[in-house]
Structure 1
């Protein structure tokens, strides 16, 4: 069968589950991953065909997509901030909104004195996407990343090797720590922040397949990780150091109040590309 014909069939079979644009994007992601063919290659050569062995692979992927298994898990990888990351069922799939948080940190720190080490801590690293992207784009940075999941740490370590950067990974439950022991110029975290009451808003491909440990918090204490991390960061941040969070879009006001009540200054709340409150930063001004 010609690949172009199979493309039409593929998109049609996914119609009950995805819109045509998304189904088409899946087709071309698989085509490039499994056959090293791009959309332009198919456009320039309508006679390209699949052989019988190819259909075994494609039909199995189609079967999994109909179950709404994330395409990133099926391919075992995703792109984040221009870098290639392994993803699996032990880690969240990195989101575009998190790229904006990384961009914010890079833009504010790219002009620092390259002769002075920039110490960065990433809490709840998952794939390592934040830590690795910062290490890649801020070559004068010394980056440490922690996570409570051993399997997540193992994945993040492979991703650091994959992207040829140095990051120190530590297995740690942040909620059980009384202090961070080291000091940092930047502490960043994208902790669990989805309340159980918000599960009805979560798509099946996320709810059924991504690790709940990295996603959800109890409704009656949605800011548990933020409160703990902000408390630890008060002592662990160096002079002029800064704390950055990705946050629940519905809790921007509550996050401002939390940081204000803990004596953070220069608090800035930012929206993401979808116009949702998504990122916040603050400083502890030493000596005040």
Structure 2
């Protein structure tokens, strides 16, 4: 960067380079880079337009910009991602929580409200990743038994860090294992954002997504390989009545309902759309 080192000029320079690299919302991302370098809020940054960045600040800004120009996701650079109003730590090797997954939390909380207050609810978050979903639910529900399962060592480590960061180490238990293998039985509510992208679609994803762990994305040939196994395991470990919430690829709606009828009958199912109007969340009511 050869321009004067004022916040105003550096914002303009970073934004231009991001645009030239094909990165959308370049102005927002340039602000994020300087907010991280200067450790200030956006509102504070707006008051610092003529502030001159130090050599240390410039070095950090250049490093962050270089990483973004190589399409590394911003949450990996900053080390955190907001989810359900919570600060969730992430790093390379751990799936980044998405805004659309907040639908799982909203739906789960609504279901809990409809249940008897005298019953201690057992909730399992399978494929917990960073622990975001389990933590968001745990922050809102104090009486439930919450378990989170994960097979990746990197994700397990991060989920535990997030658990302690939010003061929930005594309320949520994180277990290593595939899907429901570490869970015995009597699950009242099962939530999961499993790998569900068809293998052949992976290479067409945004460059940023390709930095994330393949195991957290790839759902096999039809995208249903992991979901199928989750339903098989759930058939033996869910309470009846019970509820299952699974995030999925919009094109999988019909196949998922058929799969549920085959593996979890008797059950009722319906689909909830995300904010973009796409089919996103399968709700299964086990009878």
Both structures adopt the same fold (TM-score exceeding 0.5): yes
Which moves more between the two structures, 233-242 or 79-88?
Answer: 233-242
How far apart, CA to CA, are the structure 1 residues paired with 2:48 and 2:32? 18
Q: Tell whether 2:18 aligns with 1:14.
A: yes
Q: Tell whether 2:237 aligns with 1:236.
A: yes
Three-state SS of the structure 1 residue aligned to 2:96 is coil
Three-state SS of the structure 2 residue aligned to 1:106 is helix
Structure 2 segments unaligned to the other structure (5+ residues)? none
How far apart, CA to CA, are the structure 2 residues paired with 1:44 and 1:89? 33
Map of 1:215-254 to 2, 5 A cutoff? 215-219=217-221, 221-254=222-255
- Superposed displacement of residue 186, structure 1: 0.3
Map of 1:81-160 to 2, 5 A cutoff? 81-160=84-163
Task: Please tell me whether the aligned partners of residues 4 and 42 of structure 1 are also in contact (alpha carbons under 8 angstroms).
Answer: no
Map of 1:177-216 to 2, 5 A cutoff? 177=181, 180-207=183-210, 209-216=211-218
**Aligned pair partner of 2:175 in 150, 153, 170:** 170
Task: Please tell me whether the aligned partners of residues 104 and 247 of structure 2 are also in contact (alpha carbons under 8 angstroms).
Answer: yes
Task: Please tell me whether the aligned partners of residues 37 and 61 of structure 2 are also in contact (alpha carbons under 8 angstroms).
Answer: no
How far apart, CA to CA, are the structure 2 residues paired with 1:248 and 1:79? 22
How far apart, CA to CA, are the structure 2 residues paired with 1:168 and 1:29? 33
- RMSD over equivalenced CA pairs, Å: 1.8
Task: Please tell me whether the aligned partners of residues 110 and 138 of structure 1 are also in contact (alpha carbons under 8 angstroms).
Answer: no
- Superposed displacement of residue 37, structure 1: 2.2
- Superposed displacement of residue 276, structure 1: 1.4
How far apart, CA to CA, are the structure 1 residues paired with 2:275 and 2:14? 30
How far apart, CA to CA, are the structure 2 residues paired with 1:269 and 1:145? 24
- Superposed displacement of residue 283, structure 1: 2.1
TM-score by length of 1: 0.91
Q: Tell whether 2:6 aligns with 1:2.
A: yes
Which moves more between the two structures, 61-70 or 48-57?
Answer: 48-57
Q: 1:19 to 1:223 in 2, by over 3 A?
A: closer
Structure 1 segments unaligned to the other structure (5+ residues)? none
Which moves more between the two structures, 161-170 or 64-73?
Answer: 161-170
TM-score by length of 2: 0.91
